Chain A
Amino acid sequence: MAEFYLNGPLTDGDVTKLKIGDTVYVSGEVFTCRSRLQKYIFDENHTLPFSTEGRNILIHNGPIVIKENGKWRLVSFMPTSSIRFEKWGAKSVDEWNLKMIIGKTTMGAETAKMMKEKKCVHVSPRSVSPNLWVDSIEVQDVYLYDELGKIEAAWFFKIKDLGPFIVDIDCEGNNYFDNLDGKIAQSKEKALEKLGIDKDYKFTKLY
């Protein structure tokens, strides 16, 4: 499992070399989004008010940003769970030409399929360390602040060596967590056995 320092905007070559389990640190210009933005664009038929060309890294995140002396200051940052945005995942990758999504957890099969087609990866944090990250992030701008509110607006960040993140979906459609599920299922069987619970245990059906 290799370690990479990547600079956005990312190319197909940057991401196709990544394999699940690799560690990445990311630099460049990125934008944030949560469900309200995706609903606004894809379900309510608005147009994204900025171009993702040159900014093809998306972070699922609702940051804490406050205004001090007329300037935005990032107080706290942590990628949020991507799986809850699965409904719009494939569309986001396709229409916004994303090469990387940074988010906690992972995405589902539909997004992974589109990621394979369009050459895009999903990467996930291995710690909850906002303070080690805020120093690597410069707030550049914000879009849709009035429409979507402070947390769910699209923030533009310039990031420097943000990480480490683990590649959990690669461009071949492999998912790191799917592989881990098998190992956890095996250890779960052993753990239940130790608790005296049979492999084929059935609850008394009450409802």
Chain B
Amino acid sequence: MIKTEIYEQALFETIKRGATEISPDVKAAFEKAIEKETNPSAKRGLITTLDSMEMSKKRENPLCVDTGWPIFYFKVGNNCEIEGGFMELENAARRAVAKATEMGYLRATMKHPITGYDPGNNIGMNIPDFTYQFVEGDFLELSYAAKGGGSECFGGTRHRIVAFADGIKGIEKFVVDSFVASARAGAVCPPSVLGIGIGGTANVAANLAKEAACLRTVGSKHPDPMFAKIEEDLYEALNSLGIGILGAGGDTSVLAVNVEYAYTHIAGIACATSTNCMVARRASSRITADGTVTKMISPNWFGDR
């Protein structure tokens, strides 16, 4: 049985790491972008952003002032036993978010949607958000993602039902149109990690897109060549637009394009995009049944990608 104090401490550490440390794959994507950037002003922007992100780890402060919507993904072994059960796991996550907010690792960003009331700790109705995946085993994997306001609020997340008659061209046209509109003047904080969900109902497509944006390793490819080709073609297309860092012009507009899919209805193809900001914050930890906690480099949400 995994003890409450073990998973609560792991949750807090994972939130703190997600908020303050750049993932190695995102860092590698930044280094690649810096190397190939030909616009001097964009190059300087990429370098100073990476410099600041490196400093966050040392200073233990947030990579960006907007620490986003707190979102948790729990990959749970079917035989995993959690002290207090899943309700207590979620309560511990709420306590960890409140503690991280109090300590300045998170900004008190979550508010009442109508009154604007600020609870001051990022805890409220349906927030934080929890998603589960059940697999064989007795372990628990915790992933924390911070979904920034810019990336979510300016059309970086949207959906469209594409007719089967329109197929891949319809999907790609929807993605390019959406991205160009959402990245205008740097609204979604490009260069983005663009997640695309294809198939399922609209909410399934939207969730897949969000998971593709927040939980895929940057630089990974979809194992199915058909979807890997969509990723590659869109990566090339979007990086030929000249949007650049914060939309002010430059060679790199996306750090990655990640596609995930579900079977869909004969009536149409639900498509969704979810754009993650350049800081692409996430962190994951694994707790085995004996209570050993290890930091994970990849969230392992989609297996080895």
A interface residues with partner B (beta carbon < 8 Å): 23, 36, 61-64, 66, 75-78, 80-81, 83-84, 104-106, 124-132, 134, 149-152, 164, 166, 168, 176-177, 180-181, 183-184, 187-188, 190-192, 194-197, 201, 203-204, 206-207
The A interface is mostly helix, strand or loop, or mixed, namely mixed
Q: Is B129 an interface residue (CB 8 A)?
A: no
Residue contacts A-B, CB under 8 angstroms, 21 given: A36-B116, A64-B62, A76-B107, A78-B64, A81-B187, A84-B153, A104-B246, A126-B42, A126-B48, A127-B52, A128-B63, A129-B49, A151-B108, A152-B116, A168-B185, A177-B184, A187-B242, A188-B241, A191-B237, A194-B237, A197-B176
Q: Is B135 an interface residue (CB 8 A)?
A: no
Kindly state the separation between the CA atoms of A174 and B162 in the bound complex, as whole angstroms.
Answer: 38
Q: For residue B29, which residues in chain A have a CB less than 8 angstroms away from its CB?
A: none
Q: Contacts A126-B45, A130-B61; is A105 near B186 (CB within 8 Å)? A: yes
Query: What's the nearest-Cβ distance from chain A to residue B136, in Å?
Result: 40
* Chain B minimum-CB-distance residue to A192: B176
Q: Is B4 an interface residue (CB 8 A)?
A: no
Q: Kindly identify, within residues 52 to 72 of chain B, every residue whose CB is under 8 Å from any CB belonging to chain A.
A: 52, 55-56, 59, 61-67
Q: Which 9 A-B pairs have the closest CB atoms?
A: A129-B52, A204-B163, A149-B118, A131-B55, A126-B45, A127-B45, A105-B185, A191-B237, A131-B52
Kindly state the separation between the CA atoms of A77 and B104 in the bound complex, as whole angstroms.
Answer: 12
Are the CB atoms of A81 and B62 closer together than 8 Å?
no
Are the CB atoms of A130 and B162 closer together than 8 Å?
no
Q: For residue A204, which residues in chain B have a CB less than 8 angstroms away from its CB?
A: 163, 165-166, 170
Q: For residue A66, which residues in chain B have a CB less than 8 angstroms away from its CB?
A: 103-104
Q: Kindly identify, within residues 25 to 48 of chain B, every residue whose CB is under 8 Å from any CB belonging to chain A.
A: 41-42, 44-46, 48
Are the CB atoms of A76 and B185 closer together than 8 Å?
no
Kindly state the separation between the CA atoms of A77 and B52 in the bound complex, as whole angstroms.
Answer: 11
Kindly state the separation between the CA atoms of A81 and B151 in the bound complex, as whole angstroms.
Answer: 11
Kindly state the separation between the CA atoms of A39 and B175 in the bound complex, as whole angstroms.
Answer: 34
Kindly state the separation between the CA atoms of A63 and B107 in the bound complex, as whole angstroms.
Answer: 8
Are the CB atoms of B268 and A206 closer together than 8 Å?
yes
Q: Kindly identify, within residues 135 to 192 of chain B, every residue whose CB is under 8 Å from any CB belonging to chain A.
A: 149-150, 153-154, 160-163, 165-166, 169-170, 172-174, 176, 180, 184-187, 189
Are the CB atoms of A129 and B48 closer together than 8 Å?
yes
Are the CB atoms of B65 and A126 closer together than 8 Å?
no
Could you say which of A36, A76, A129, A187 contacts B62, with CB atoms under 8 Å apart? A76
Q: For residue A150, which residues in chain B have a CB less than 8 angstroms away from its CB?
A: 108, 118, 120
Q: Is B247 an interface residue (CB 8 A)?
A: yes
Are the CB atoms of B55 and A105 closer together than 8 Å?
no
Could you say which of A84, A131, A190 contacts B56, with CB atoms under 8 Å apart? A131
Q: Contacts A184-B242, A192-B176, A195-B169; is A128 near B233 (CB within 8 Å)? A: no
Could you say which of A62, A84, A152, A190 contacts B240, with CB atoms under 8 Å apart? A190
Kindly state the separation between the CA atoms of A197 and B241 in the bound complex, as whole angstroms.
Answer: 15
Query: What's the nearest-Cβ distance from chain B to residue A84, in Å?
Result: 7
Are the CB atoms of B246 and A125 closer together than 8 Å?
yes
Q: For residue A197, which residues in chain B have a CB less than 8 angstroms away from its CB?
A: 169, 172-173, 176
Kindly state the separation between the CA atoms of A129 and B62 in the bound complex, as whole angstroms.
Answer: 10
Q: For residue B172, which residues in chain A have a CB less than 8 angstroms away from its CB?
A: 195, 197
Kindly state the separation between the CA atoms of A74 and B234 in the bound complex, as whole angstroms.
Answer: 40
Kindly state the separation between the CA atoms of A76 and B238 in the bound complex, as whole angstroms.
Answer: 31
Q: For residue B166, which residues in chain A have a CB less than 8 angstroms away from its CB?
A: 203-204
B230-253 near A? 1/0 per residue, CB < 8 Å: 000110111011110111110000
